Amino acid sequence: MTPIFPGSVDAAGQRATLGVLGGGQLGRMFVHAAQRLGYFTAVLEPDPQSPAGLVSHHHIQTGYDDPSGLAQLSQLCQAITTEFENVPAQALQTLALTRPVAPSAAVVGIAQNRIAEKAHFSACADLSGVSCGPYAVIETLTQLRAVQNERADLLPGILKTARMGYDGKGQVRVKNTDDLTAAWAELGSVACVLEKMLPLTAECSVLVARGWDGQVVSFAPQRNVHVDGILAVTHAYEGNMPPALATRARDAAVSIAQHLGYVGVLCIEFFVVADGSEHGGLVVNEMAPRPHNSGHYTLDACDASQFDLQVHTMAGLPLPQPRQHSPAIMLNLLGDVWFGADGQRREPDWYSVLSLPGTHLHLYGKLDARAGRKMGHLTITGPDILSVKTVAQRAAGLLGLPGLDAI
């Protein structure tokens, strides 16, 4: 990979331009990071009002698999990435014929399918030191019957679709074999994974950035709290989880990235299970081949954000080890914040929230607030953990956010 330097101009007079498939908030924050360094940007996204498309130099308004749109993106850009894992892997493969693409279509394909993902985690368990929890693949009625008759140890569990499940979608909790039959039918009898429910004490994630040359840097693990399957609170500070587990999670995430030959920013999510578990307290859950919601705090609490590292990796620039300069708590802002208890739309009390010390508001430019839709996030930083927690609790109370007891 020949480095693509910011602000450079090629022989044809074209500015160094970085492209992204997808126009959501992750694409928007990538675009901002790239532009701050001096790159031009191009977004391929069908939505004319997409958050990333509205702030990019170029917005190619086509479907992700549209040949003319992909050709235009390739012509405009010197390197291309994606902001979400459900973009067609074939589109990335097509783009990679003419341009550097990170992450690769093969890796994105693994992340798009829970069956392939778990197979990968199992394959590199010896290297990473962390395995996934007990599970079974259900793609056919025969496999369903086999699980019901031979794998009762997996119940109670969670049945998840192999594809397109995120933020609590595409999954059903099951207590017994009758529940399992009904849940598989409810999910359309598509390919699924049944995961055994484990005695969780916490959830955490680790962000890793790996360059074309194999250089790897990472952030310390962040502890996450979910409400109804959607991230609500992220704790990012020293002591947010036991040091030994934090080290294991970080080392495992780096090993998984190395095993994949990954290029770009990768998020690995883990379950922390009760002491005495056969899994040694840590289980790998899933991966996201992109920056992650739980890493948004890096924009305000670190000297290099996850989006800065995304730009560096795809452009072939050096990867500085990021340093966190302030403890932080991030609060996810869903569309529910814009509605009162009576269901009537209201404007959140931003004046009071922004009067609190150390508050950093990020709204994503989405015009339509809906329940469960990610509209923005609020990061609180401060000189110490106690002050950050105090402000975070006050802000969450002002906004009527769930998960107050988790702060």
Residues annotated within the binding site for ATP are 114, 160, 165-171, 195-198, 203, 226, 285-286
Strand stretches in 247-347, DSSP E = 264-273, 282-288, 328-334
What six digits make up the tokens of 270?
A: 């883990």
Rg (C-alpha) for the chain, rounded Å, is: 21
CA distances in angstroms from 368 to 145, 308, 398, listed in the order given: 44, 28, 21
Answer yes or no: are the C-beta atoms of 186 and 172 closer than 8 Å.
yes
Report in angstroms the alpha-carbon separations of 72 from 30, 40, 60, 77, 284: 20, 15, 8, 9, 38
Q: Provide the terminal-to-terminal Cα distance of the chain, rounded to the nearest Å.
A: 43
Residues 6+ apart with CB under 8 A from 100: 1, 78, 79, 80, 212, 314, 316
Alpha helices in 38-140 (DSSP H): 67-76, 89-95, 105-111, 114-123, 125-128
User: Which DSSP letter does residue 9 get?
Assistant: B
State whether residue 112 is helix, strand or coil: coil
Which of 53, 57, 64 shows the shortest CA–CA distance to 95?
64
Q: Which residues are annotated as a binding site?
A: 114, 160, 165-171, 195-198, 203, 226, 285-286
Give the residues across from 101 on adjacent strands.
Answer: 80
Give the whole-angstrom CA distance, residue 107 versus residue 115: 13
Please state, in angstroms and as integers, the Cα–Cα distance from residue 169 to each residue in 172, 232, 271, 385, following that order: 9, 16, 18, 33
